[in-house]
Structure 1
Amino acid sequence: MNSSFVIILLSFAILIAYVVYSLVTLKVIPESLSETYYRLNYKKKGLGRLFPITMFICAATLLPIWLDYSKDNFQWLVFLACSATFFVAVTPNYYEGLERQVHYGAAVVCCISAILWTMLSGTWLIPIINFAFALGYMVLYNRKKQIVFLIEIATLFSVYISLLLQ
């Protein structure tokens, strides 16, 4: 097992731990991953800080390895996805002012560039399967309000799974 694989696995484990902790603590599926910042701050005074920390750690650990795993003509997508994640991490207070536009814009750029990378790098089946599960869950359990959360999770999981299978 090489060090890149271990780092990707640890980064993925950090993301999963944060998502599971948020879901268990909040006892509800939020409308978006970013909403956990507000909900955890309210319910567990100050633990909303875990959201930007988690996003920053995940992007920082992925960036060099993801660039290394990418073909030269797709590296710009990696840079966009990770840079956008850094912007999401530093603007967690997205209900207010300029942070709202920066946060939403960065989240959209991150999702689009990450999905494009997985589709163009030859692992197109992974996001299709993840999005099918997300859509199925949304329809079966009537979770239309949580569509953004499900898309974010499907996107992040697609990237990690694609990298782990490289």
Structure 2
Amino acid sequence: MLKELITIDDIEIGLVASNWEEAIRKSSQRLLEKGTINQHYVDSMINIVKETGPYFVIGNHVAFAHTRPEYGAKSLGLSFTTLQPPISFGSNNFDPIKLIVTFSATDSDAHLSLMSELANILMNEKTMAKLFVSTSSEEFYQHLINGLDN
């Protein structure tokens, strides 16, 4: 499913942001432009982090930015953004964040197979190391797709 959903246009390399909030706003831009989410969705992600902490920091150097579907998810969507330099999100265990995966789904079941594929990639340290140092969207995409086959 990931191969069908992701294109090179869903990948941004070397995003510069001054803090975690700006990083979330900027990394959400691709999904906003595609109409996958609305501005309320972005605001919800930021507000929840402010209220409860960095709930979507899920592993070493990775944030899985998302919120509940009813806060503005219009369709299934996914984008990948590497940060340069990496940014602290306030997670003692996993900072600094090098990669933001921005995700939206219209319900809690529609994305289960996608999540499974993504989890396999995120748990593969070799693939993740390659994704972190990718210098172009094309290179990142190739490492991502190759990671699906491992």
TM-score by length of 2: 0.30
Larger of the two Rg values belongs to structure: 1
1 or 2, which has the higher strand percentage?
2
Higher helix share: 1
RCO higher in 1 or 2 (8 Å CA, sep ≥ 6)? 2
TM normalised by structure 1 equals 0.28
